């Protein structure tokens, strides 16, 4: 088992990257995180599969949940980590550095150091985020142990450049199958080309663009895309079937059911069969709660101390804040790393953002006097 270096958040990030944790293969990293947490006497540590939950039980009136997923997309020659400096900026490069082992490292470091937080805290490190929603570790933990995921405010450490992003778009993925009639391509008129039948539908979907929808004061940009086409059996046969995969990233003011109906409306007049391949509700911005406002002000103060501004904007894309929102728990995204680098081969997190994010968590949850000086 890898013994994590927990005295410094940058070293900790490097250690986490060096443990391969592609979705479905998170046991080794979960074991290492659990071992580190069980060394902290102020935490109750629980486990469900490869999801680790650690929480304080100090009897505080409010509880904050701080969460992050421990899995990554497949490795592509980018493990182990590399520490580098370019243009005066020090970075840690490697799979998961941005999405989102940097955020996990910041949360794990804070969990170990904060033994007297001003709010009770539940720290959640979960598996299977980078795959289909039914496999999601956070959802599984809630289904199996709803009392483990209980609080008044949640912070998800997804990459935001250490800024704050409220809410997230929802997402649905629909597979539409349209039938035709097969024929020899030399006698095409004797068949009914299924691929040709969907061409006008694809054109209409392409015209959707990227409309902006304002929800609770933040602007969410939508997208509707055909992401896959499957059809045809041979080069000289008119295709008698085609499958279109359509992905709709919709503003959190819309329900998944309405989003699915919107996709299906593009097939009006065409005999199509629909399969719902993925369905996740969006999350309205959670930035108006008292605990969220307290977090925003802490983040603004820390960033100002570092000579930087803080922005609060809508999250582009779907994240697990939607799961908290569905439970009635206001939630925001805040974590180190540029989200545009997520899943790229050269993803790299700036060291400064790792330190800023960790400092925000520690100052938000407790005064310096409550920070444990123990070395783990």
Active-site amino acid positions: 71, 129
Residues 6+ positions from 284 with CB-CB distance below 8 Å: 167, 215, 216, 252, 253, 325
Tell me the two tokens of residue 148: 């483990």
- Quick check: helix, strand or coil at residue 94? coil
Question: What gap in Å lies between CA 264 and CA 271, rounded to an integer?
Answer: 11
Question: What gap in Å lies between CA 257 and CA 278, rounded to an integer?
Answer: 12
DSSP assignment string, 208-226: T---EEEETTEEEE-EEEE
Question: What gap in Å lies between CA 40 and CA 53, rounded to an integer?
Answer: 13
Question: What gap in Å lies between CA 126 and CA 26, rounded to an integer?
Answer: 9
| Residue 291 and residue 153 in contact, taking contact as beta carbons nearer than 8 Å | yes
Question: What gap in Å lies between CA 353 and CA 160, rounded to an integer?
Answer: 10
Question: What gap in Å lies between CA 109 and CA 98, rounded to an integer?
Answer: 17
User: Which is it for strands 272-280 and 170-179: parallel, antiparallel or unpaired?
Assistant: antiparallel
Tell me the two tokens of residue 121: 């805290």
Tell me the two tokens of residue 9: 């958040």
């Amino acid at each position: 088992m890898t013994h994590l270096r927990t005295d410094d958040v940058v070293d900790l990030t490097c250690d986490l990257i060096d443990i391969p944790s592609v979705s479905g293969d998170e046991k080794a990293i979960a074991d290492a995180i659990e071992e580190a947490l069980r060394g902290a006497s102020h935490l109750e540590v629980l486990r469900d599969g490869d999801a680790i939950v650690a929480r304080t039980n100090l009897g505080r009136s409010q509880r904050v949940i701080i969460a992050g997923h421990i899995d990554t997309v497949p490795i592509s020659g980018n493990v182990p980590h590399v520490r580098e400096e370019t243009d005066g900026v020090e970075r840690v490069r490697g799979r998961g550095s941005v999405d989102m082992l940097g955020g996990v490292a910041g949360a794990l470091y804070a969990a170990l150091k904060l033994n007297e937080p001003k709010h009770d805290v539940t720290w959640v490190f979960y598996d299977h985020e980078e795959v289909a929603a039914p496999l999601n570790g956070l959802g599984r933990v809630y289904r199996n142990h709803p009392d483990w995921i209980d609080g008044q405010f949640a912070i998800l450490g997804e990459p935001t450049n250490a800024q704050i992003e409220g809410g997230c778009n929802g997402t649905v993925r629909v597979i539409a199958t349209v039938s035709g009639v097969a024929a020899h391509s030399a006698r095409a008129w004797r068949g009914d080309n299924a691929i040709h039948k969907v061409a006008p539908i694809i054109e209409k979907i392409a015209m959707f663009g990227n409309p902006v929808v304002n929800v609770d004061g933040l602007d969410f940009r939508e997208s509707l895309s055909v992401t896959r086409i499957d059809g045809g059996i041979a080069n000289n046969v008119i295709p008698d079937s085609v499958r279109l995969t359509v992905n709709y990233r919709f503003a959190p003011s819309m329900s998944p059911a309405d989003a699915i109906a919107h996709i299906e409306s593009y097939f009006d007049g065409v005999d199509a069969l629909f399969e719902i391949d993925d369905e996740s509700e969006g999350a309205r911005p959670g930035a108006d709660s008292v605990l969220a406002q307290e977090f925003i002000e802490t983040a603004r103060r820390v960033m100002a101390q570092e000579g930087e501004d803080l922005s609060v904007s809508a999250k582009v894309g779907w994240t697990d804040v939607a799961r908290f929102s569905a439970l009635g728990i206001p939630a925001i995204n805040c974590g180190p790393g540029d989200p545009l680098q997520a899943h790229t081969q050269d993803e790299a997190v700036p060291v400064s953002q790792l330190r800023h994010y960790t400092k925000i968590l520690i100052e938000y949850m407790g005064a310096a006097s409550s920070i444990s000086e123990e070395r783990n």
